[in-house]
Amino acid sequence: MNYSVKYFDKDTNTQIQSPKVVNNQVFNTQIIASSEIKDITGYNFDHLNVDKLSIGTGQNVIIVYYSKVTGLSYKVNYLLLDNDEDDSNNVKLAESKIGSNKIYKDEINPTNEEKVIIGYKVAKYSSNPLVITTDESKNVLTIYYEKDETQTKDIHYTIQYYKDNVLVTADTETYSSTIYVLDEITFTPNVNKYEGYEYDSVNSIIPNTIGDGQIIKVLYTTRKDLSYKVNYYEKRNKCSITWTFTSN
């Protein structure tokens, strides 16, 4: 005579592990069912179909019911795709997401975990789907992004030049361009644009980066640090006397 032990998921009533068969049993032998409980990864013991099994001539079956482990977490990383397998040096494009209250063998669809990141598009997933395990350190989904050149922005800006606070209309410059959405335009003034004038860095309006519709004002003031030299010659002695003057 023999008896068998079956291991079932109580929620789906499906077998989660191959049954165990114990042979050479004596009629009327009492089997303590709890002695057949064993650890199964991803499951917690729930209940037995019997407390004791008396070996008879019919089917001798102990069924051990389990429930899946719950309360598991997972992590989603958002990284810029590069050319190696080491994610530790990838650029992080967004804060990681921590998901919770998952059940063993739940499947995480990566498309539901995507984030819209300006300037980038999804390139690939580390797994599709991510299957939840009891080892939470392995419940990691990485979504890789790449630069999306189709994401652009229009920039229109004007540069005005002033001499002693008077606009030099003829020198006004207007620019329009379409650039990648994350690119920036900067402007460095020509400090020697006008002879006899010096660049006024204090009162000029020069942004670190140029925004759409912005007006840049570059101011110049008349130089007051110029000097000139006058030489005087005494004709008789053929000697010279020099004076240097500074204009104010």
Residue boundaries of the structural domains of the chain: 3-68, 72-147, 152-222
What is d(CA 19, CA 86) in angstroms, rounded to the nearest whole number? 42
pLDDT in tens, 66-94: 999 999 999 999 999 998 888 999 999 99
Q: Do domains 3-68 and 72-147 have the same CATH topology?
A: yes
Task: Decide: 39 and 69 in contact? Cβ < 8 Å.
Answer: no
Q: What is the pLDDT of residue 225?
A: 83
Residue 63: count of CB within 10 angstroms of its CB = 19
Q: What is the mean pLDDT of residues 237-241?
A: 58
**According to the CATH classification, is domain 3-68 in 3.10.20.320?**
yes
What is the CATH code of the structural domain delimited by 72-147? 3.10.20
Categorize the per-residue pLDDT at 240 as very low, low, confident or very high, splitting at 50, 70 and 90: low
Q: Sign of torsion, CA 132 136 142 143?
A: positive
Give the per-residue pLDDT at 198.
94
Q: Is domain 152-222 annotated with CATH 3.10.20?
A: yes
User: What gap in Å lies between CA 173 and CA 159, rounded to an integer?
Assistant: 5
pLDDT digits (tens, 9 = 90+) for 20-65: 999 999 999 999 999 999 999 999 999 999 999 999 988 999 999 9
pLDDT in tens, 189-219: 999 999 999 999 999 999 999 999 999 999 9
